[in-house]
Chain A
Amino acid sequence: MIRFDYARPGDVAEAVRGGAGDHVAYLAGGTNLIDLMKENVARPLEVVDINRLPLAQITDLDDGSLRLGALATNADTAYDERVEARYPLLASAILAGASPQLRNAATNGGNLNQRTRCYYFYDVETPCNKRVPGQGCGAIGGVNRIHAILGASDQCIATHPSDMCVALAALQAQVQVTGPEGDRTIAFADYHRLPGDEPWRDNTLKQGELVTAIDLPAEDFSTNYTYLKLRDRLSYAFALVSVAVAMRLEGDRIADVRIALGGVAHKPWRRIEAEEAIKNERPSDTVFDTAARALLAGAVSQGDNSFKIGLAHKAIIRALGQAAAGTPQSQTDKRIR
């Protein structure tokens, strides 16, 4: 690990002043950053420890939305009674990820800002455009079983590793940030980005900006939802493919539906046209197949990850069925029904 200066500001303004320079990293739960520093992937010269900032609360807002503090832990968020009752999709997705120990340390803001688990990004002996711009990509033409099938570029085929973010995409959360130029709100769909020709940029934060909260809109997807995660072992593994579905039925018709995929792209993968295509339809495997085809149109294999295309297709149909039936995937009993 590189040597660095350490600061522990007591308020947000002081933190933002400390975070404004080059080669500064904000430290929250540390579950990804410390690991990246050990691997010499992250080499900050200054670490601004934000753990003492007052950003760990979960608060009801006047408009009925729920504000998740950036420093609330993943565990405290998943087990918050309001999250469990009103946003069970989010609770389910969080509990599908990592381990109890990691969820006790990892924070909501940190979850958004965690880096890809692409092996080439982590291995400083191999080329990676995300780690060192212009160096090339080891994963293209390399070992790429875990890599993207959608939205990749000729410079980067990494995936975003989060489960939580897949649910936040479906719930259309809003990300509250502050920084040297003041406060702003970023729609979740605009927060993470596709790699394009700047794969080193995971998200649309500007230099020195700090996530302060994530707001969940006052919408009810607490009956017809699911988070279906498929991976190499039943627990404590990243998704090969995951599907978050938030649905609202009126009578026997789909009045509203959101579908987001994890494990397949550089960001949680949504396509509004896939959702629009099945609104006002009666739930059926034929209808779900229409959505799956639209969501996966243009999916490309990188060689080792061809299986993800078929797996995602089946997973979308199964997840939509689980949501429509009101039988969400259990994150304890992993049998898929």
Chain B
Amino acid sequence: MNDAVTIDRASAMRVAARPIATLPLSLTINGEVRALQVEPWTTLLDLLRDKLDLTGTKKGCDHGQCGACTVLIDGRRINACLKLAVSLDGAEITTIEGLGQPGELHPLQAAFIDHDAFQCGYCTPGQICSAQGLINEGRAKDRQDVREQMSGNICRCGAYTNIADAVLEVLEKQA
């Protein structure tokens, strides 16, 4: 659509000289309605981490290649780094903080501990949100399905075997 976007100096100056206007945004985040003001270029990931101090959601690659920023938007797993927050006006967001709390772990969190499904833990919030999305979708029936459908989440420690075990256990308990 916009092939070869090259901007002449005058246009660039015009944009740079404009005051930064924030836009109103209403989101329900982990069950709480939030009235916010955001700059249009703020991603959901940056909003969560930098403005709302919900740092459980991780920034790995910031390019949709690693899955560390996976959250649930209206129950569906999405890469938060590739969504402009403003475009989600009215949506319901669930982050890792909304799934479980210390002392009150989500079944996936408990299963990740039981199965030793992480080492450094950086990818884990995204893995768990993605696994909840997988369960919500209801299309995974066996281990091979789980492995394929969890392939959007990279683990540099290589805990994949145990991650698949943890997800499969919760999936089978809920079936």
Query: Any chain A CB within 8 A of the CB of B107?
Result: no
Q: Does B9 contact A (CB under 8 A)?
A: no
Q: How large is the interface on B (under 10, 10 to 19, 20 to 34, 35 or more residues)?
A: 35 or more
B82 touches A30 (CB 8 A): yes
Interface size on A, residues (CB 8 A): 52
Could you list 17 examples of A-B contacts with CB < 8 Å? A3-B20, A23-B2, A30-B82, A34-B84, A35-B63, A37-B41, A38-B62, A42-B2, A98-B152, A100-B152, A101-B64, A101-B152, A105-B83, A130-B4, A132-B6, A201-B4, A235-B148
Q: Which of A43-51, A258-266, A314-322 makes up part of the contact surface?
A: A43-51
Residue A288 is within 8 A (CB to CB) of chain B in the complex = no
- The answer to whether A100 and B137 touch across the interface, beta carbons within 8 angstroms, is yes
A287 partner residues in chain B, CB cutoff 8 A: none
Residues of A within 8 A of B39 (CB): 3
Q: Is the CB of A34 within 8 A of B20?
A: no
B87-A30 in contact (CB<8A): yes
A307 on the interface (CB 8 Å rule)? no
Interface of A is mostly: loop
Residue of B nearest to A79 (CB): B139
Known A-B contacts A45-B15, A100-B77, A102-B64; A209 and B1 likewise in contact (beta carbons under 8 Å): yes
Q: Which residues does chain B contribute within 8 Å of A22, judged by CB atoms? A: 11
Q: Chain B residues near A225: list those with CB within 8 A.
A: none
Which of A4-12, A59-67, A244-252 lies at the interface with chain B? Answer: A4-12
B76 within 8 A of A: yes
**Is the CB of A205 closer than 8 A to any CB of chain B?**
yes
Q: Is the CB of B15 within 8 A of A100?
A: no
- Contact status A35-B6, CB under 8 Å: no
B175 proximal to A (CB < 8 A): no
Given A38-B62, A235-B151, CB of A44 within 8 Å of CB of B83:
no
- Chain A residues positioned under 8 Å from B86 (CB to CB): 6, 8, 49
> How many Å lie between the Cα of A6 and that of B38 in the bound state?
11
Bitwise interface map of A from 232 to 246 toward B, beta carbon under 8 Å scored 1, else 0: 001110000000000
Residue-wise interface mask of B (126-145) relative to A, using a CB-CB cutoff of 8 A (1 in contact, 0 not): 00001001100101000011
B16 and chain A: residue at smallest CB distance: A3
Query: Which residues of chain A are near B158, meaning CB under 8 Å?
Result: none
Q: Is B43 an interface residue (CB 8 A)?
A: yes
A334 to chain B, nearest CB (A): 8
- The 8 Å CB contact of A99, one of B14, B62, B152, is B152
B 8-24 contacts with A by CB, 8 A: 11, 14-16, 18, 20, 23
Top 6 closest A-B pairs, CB basis?
A99-B152, A200-B4, A235-B151, A6-B40, A200-B3, A101-B152
